[in-house]
Structure 1
């Protein structure tokens, strides 16, 4: 293992609302079960912007949680990785709670401290510092908005070195969440139908996941015409523009022969969720991925839901275990069944604020910062 700190260029958030400021920081060597990674690229996710704009994290902090890079050094207790390995960094988990013991790390009982506290939960430390002062790090167990990042062995996933690392970062969160929502969370199977409300990175990833397992009809409801066109290119059987369709529910039922077996909401908008739950055929399942307003209640007619026996599943990280699901997605990509690269728009790392703006305006579905 390396015993020396390294200097890195990182994007810091110093006040609520940003901007990201590029500064030099020191990155400590990895501890026993940690790895230090030289970043090649990192995706930008909506959660990064939510944290920048006020979700409670300690400031100053280095955000970023869709990193991909090459292992530079490993701690003395690391057994699954070595220097030179290509890795994708994903969310962190504690490895010892009931959910982790059941191979469900997305529902780790300690998810918040392991991913949002800005420190190592065990002792309140950070691998990042500047002029001797601690800088918030460990965001999703990585803080990948920097040229080096320290992650834990369990949230660093070894990947095929033949696949370009510049593409792979978003598999660690946004794309994993969408594809996993379809394949793992609601468990869509060959020939079954799906309605996806929202055609952003998560919704389109759900579409690709459904296609990868040979789902039947997949209907995407999306007001942005260019995203609707991309959905068709990615395999949607139908796209509905809610701005141009008076009765979205009626149209879904018409296209789906009475409804769909599964639905996913990526918007978090209660009025949209109320429509989504009514699209379901008997014994259907609705998955909720979008972040709702804090005071929102579950909309929907309980008698209608009861008579159809439909279920609602709230989803975190696509119910994925990154150590197995990220390689599965890469396998689909290599087989030509999961063209997630079509979602990506690359930006040089020093254009991080431009990437954030493009994400917020909808000009980029999945910005990826390249070092």
Structure 2
């Protein structure tokens, strides 16, 4: 049981990349850990901003945090999963602090250290190249590798009658958008919602708003193909923010009132201002877009205070992964949450092309295939 796994991993050696495929070894799982043979891993905006050091994690590092695979081995204390189980890997958390205990693990008091520290909490790593450690444990997984180490806490057992290679993005991006609407904002039936940014997160939010029964759902983006897809997935209106004033459009659609909820997923401070200005009285703007550390935004304080508007940050859709991910899978299986329309698959050898296509907006949600499920 102490035997290392031989793996192929995408390593970021320097700021700005590229992802470089390397032969590495992955330690056997410790007592509370799980070794997963990766089938596929979604690529998320956060992978790119860490590659580019917008978030200054230590390098060299193995990224990837939307993993799906098959359990290969488990540590002696693991009881949640067994070899052969299909799993999705989500963010990790301590499970002991007041926020974890109250059902908000995405706001764990140790979230940054556990997910973006570049290793285990004791400073060790599981991945080595030629005997030299590489930083890992990104979101508790570093799943841009053919094998990855996770723990019981951030691993979710999933049903086997859905395509495993499709499910990785439920660990972060898709859950972030859907959870922002269903968990954080609590969009209600008959209410109005606008998604500023119609990438994978924004489109997931639009699908969730339709599930919640929102009757006015507005997509804002600058790419016509995304706006068209948004309408196919549930948006009742769409506006190109490059050719029209999105705030004026939303006010016009809502009879001058604005919408009850907005979600900003672009990370652009100017777009955030539009998302706030588009709110009705007592409306709420959720913020999930991740700009470089230190980015500041501005708004008129009176336009926030007098109408009683709210702005709140949202991490990982404020979800409990063991509960929320299986719910989304059930909805997908019923045809009510067709997130498969967002994805495009790439072999591991094309991981840098996947990143380029994502950054250009040509691909909404790249998924990197590692191996086939058995």
TM-score range, shorter chain: over 0.9
State how far apart, in whole Å, the 1-side matches of 2:150 and 2:119 are. 12
- 1:57-90: CA deviation from partner (whole Å, max 9, x where unpaired): 2222111000000000111111111111100001
**For structure 1, which segment, 38-47 or 258-267, has the greater mean C-alpha deviation from structure 2 after superposition?**
258-267
Alignment of 1:1-371 (within 5 A): 2-54=1-53, 55-121=55-121, 123-245=122-244, 247-257=245-255, 258-292=257-291, 294-371=293-370
Superposed structure 1 runs of 4+ greater than 3 Å apart? 292-298
State how far apart, in whole Å, the 2-side matches of 1:217 and 1:344 are. 25
1:37 is paired with a residue whose SS is strand
**For structure 1, which segment, 52-61 or 39-48, has the greater mean C-alpha deviation from structure 2 after superposition?**
52-61
State how far apart, in whole Å, the 2-side matches of 1:248 and 1:39 are. 41
Report the RMSD for the aligned CA atoms in angstroms. Answer: 1.2
State how far apart, in whole Å, the 2-side matches of 1:26 and 1:210 are. 43
**If the length of structure 2 is used for normalisation, what is the TM-score?**
0.96
1:125 is paired with a residue whose SS is coil
State how far apart, in whole Å, the 2-side matches of 1:62 and 1:297 are. 29
1:120 is paired with a residue whose SS is coil
- 1:188-229: CA deviation from partner (whole Å, max 9, x where unpaired): 011211011111111111111111222211001111011111
Q: Structure 2, unaligned stretches of length 5 or more?
A: none
1:196 is paired with a residue whose SS is strand
Distance verdict in 2 for CA 1:138–1:198, change over 3 Å? same
**For structure 1, which segment, 311-320 or 53-62, has the greater mean C-alpha deviation from structure 2 after superposition?**
53-62
Tell me if the contact between 1:141 and 1:151 (Cα under 8 Å) persists in the aligned partners. yes
**For structure 1, which segment, 172-181 or 293-302, has the greater mean C-alpha deviation from structure 2 after superposition?**
293-302
2:167 is paired with a residue whose SS is helix
Instruction: Note the C-alpha offset of 1:300.
Output: 2.3
Instruction: Note the C-alpha offset of 1:310.
Output: 1.4
Instruction: Note the C-alpha offset of 1:267.
Output: 1.7
State how far apart, in whole Å, the 1-side matches of 2:303 and 2:133 are. 54
Aligned length: 368
1:145 is paired with a residue whose SS is coil
State how far apart, in whole Å, the 1-side matches of 2:283 and 2:115 are. 32
State how far apart, in whole Å, the 1-side matches of 2:297 and 2:56 are. 25
Q: Structure 1, unaligned stretches of length 5 or more?
A: none
- 1:154-210: CA deviation from partner (whole Å, max 9, x where unpaired): 100011111101100001011111111111111101121101111111111111111
Tell me if the contact between 1:212 and 1:332 (Cα under 8 Å) persists in the aligned partners. no
State how far apart, in whole Å, the 2-side matches of 1:70 and 1:214 are. 35
